[in-house]
Chains A and B, each alone.
Chain A
Amino acid sequence: MARYLIVRAGLGLVTIAGVVLLTFVLQFSLPGDPARRIAGPRASPEVLATVRANLHLDDSVPSQLLTYVTDVAQGDLGVSYIRRRPVIDLIMERLPATAVLAVGGLMVEVTLGGGLGLWDGLRRKRSRGLAAANVVLLSIPTYSLGFLLLVVFAYRLDLLPLGGGTSAKELILPAATLGLFGVPYYAAVVSESTRTALSASYMRTAVAKGLPRRVILRRHVIRNCLSPVITLAGLDVAIYLSGVVFVESVFAWPGIGQLQEQAYNELDRPLLMGTVIVAAVVVVAFNLVADLVRALVDPRARVEETG
Chain B
Amino acid sequence: MTAAPLLSVERLTKRFGPAAGGLVAVDAMSFAVGQGEFVSIIGPSGCGKSTLFSMLGGLVAPTGGRIEVEGALVTGPHPAVGMVFQEESCFPWRSVQDNVAFPLELAGIPRGERQDRAQLFIDMVGLRGFERRLPSELSGGMRQRVCIARTLAARPRLLLMDEPFAALDEQTRLLLGDKVLQIQQQLNQTTLLITHSITEAVQLSDRILVMTYRPGRLKRVVEVNLPRPRTPDVVTSPAFGATVAALWRDLREEASRGMAAER
A joins B in a complex: no
Using a CB–CB cutoff of 8 Å, the interface residues on chain B facing chain A are none
